[in-house]
Amino acid sequence: MSIDSDSAALFPDEVVTRAHTRLVEVPGLDGRVALVTIDNGHDHTKPSTFGPAGLASLDSALDEAFAAEPAAIAVTGKPFVFAVGADLSGMGQLSEREYAHRIAKAGHDVFRRLTESEIPTFAFVNGAALGGGLELALSCHYRTVADNAGAIAFPECFLGLFPGWGGTQLLPNLVGADQAVTVILENSLNQNKMLNPGKATGMGIFDIQLESPDFLEESLRWAARVINGSSTVQRAEIDRGQGWDEAISRAKEIAASKTHGASPGVNKAVELIELARNNDLDAGYAAETEALADALMTDELRAGLYAFDLTQKRAKKPAGAPDKSLANDVNKVGVVGAGLMAGQLALLFARRLEVPVVLTDIDQGRIDKGVAYVHGEIDKLGAKGRLSSDGVNRLKALVTGSLDKSAFADADFVIEAVFEEMSVKQQVFGELEQHVSPETVLATNTSSLSVGEMGAKLAHPERVVGFHFFNPVAVLPLLEIVRGERTDDSALATAFAVGKKLKKSCVLTADTPAFVVNRLLTRFLGEVIASVDEGTPFEVADRALNPLGLPMSPMVLLQLVGPAIAQHVNETMHAAYPDRFGLSDNLRRFVDAGKTGVWTTDEAGNQIVDPEVAELWQQGDEPLSEEQVRDRALRALAEEARIMLDEDVVVEAADLDLCMLLGAGWPFWLGGITPYLDRSGYSELVNGKRFHQPGVASLPSS
Instruction: Count CB neighbours of 390 within 10 A.
Output: 9
Average pLDDT, the chain: 94
pTM of the predicted model, to two decimals? Answer: 0.90
Query: Is residue 513 scored above 60 in pLDDT?
Result: yes
Query: Is residue 702 scored above 60 in pLDDT?
Result: no
Query: Is residue 12 scored above 80 in pLDDT?
Result: no
CA 423/CA 417 separation, integer angstroms: 14
CA 668/CA 263 separation, integer angstroms: 10
Lowest mean pLDDT among 1-5, 209-213, 516-520: 1-5
Q: Which of 300-309, 427-436, 560-569 has the highest mean pLDDT?
A: 427-436
Query: Is residue 191 scored above 80 in pLDDT?
Result: yes
CA 76/CA 122 separation, integer angstroms: 9
- What's the sign of the alpha-carbon dihedral 394, 399, 404, 409? positive
- Residues 6 or more apart whose CB falls under 8 angstroms from that of 483 comprise 451, 465, 466, 492, 508, 509, 510, 511
Query: Is residue 4 scored above 70 in pLDDT?
Result: no
CA 95/CA 89 separation, integer angstroms: 13
CA 276/CA 284 separation, integer angstroms: 6
Place 1 in a pLDDT band, splitting at 50, 70 and 90: very low
- Residues 6 or more apart whose CB falls under 8 angstroms from that of 621 comprise 535
pLDDT in tens, 469-512: 998 898 889 999 999 999 999 999 999 999 999 999 999 999 99
When pLDDT is averaged across residues 454-460 and rounded to a whole number, the result is 95
Spatial contact of 644 and 661, defined as CB atoms under 8 Å apart: no
pLDDT for residue 602:
87
pLDDT in tens, 644-699: 999 999 999 999 999 999 999 899 989 999 999 999 999 999 999 999 998 888 88
pLDDT cut 70: percent of the chain above it: 98
Residue ranges with strand state E in 231-316 = none
Taking alpha carbons only, the member of 153, 177, 139 closest to residue 270 is 177
pLDDT in tens, 588-597: 999 999 999 9
Total residue count of the chain as it appears in this document:
702
User: Domains of the chain, with CATH numbers?
Assistant: 5-297 (3.90.226.10), 330-512 (3.40.50.720), 517-628 (1.10.1040.50)
Strands 81-83, 413-416: pairing is unpaired
pLDDT in tens, 378-419: 999 999 888 999 999 999 999 999 999 999 999 999 999 999
Strands 208-210, 142-146: pairing is parallel
Integer angstrom CA distances of residue 547 from 267, 631, 680: 14, 12, 12
pLDDT in tens, 340-354: 999 999 999 999 999
Which residues form the catalytic set?
Answer: 135, 156
pLDDT for residue 6:
57
3-class DSSP assignment, residue 399: strand
When pLDDT is averaged across residues 613-641 and rounded to a whole number, the result is 97
pLDDT for residue 5:
52
Judge residue 326's burial from the number of C-beta atoms within 10 Å of its C-beta, 0-12 exposed, 13-18 middle, 19 or more buried: middle
Alpha helices in 551-673 (DSSP H): 554-561, 563-576, 585-592, 611-616, 626-646, 653-663
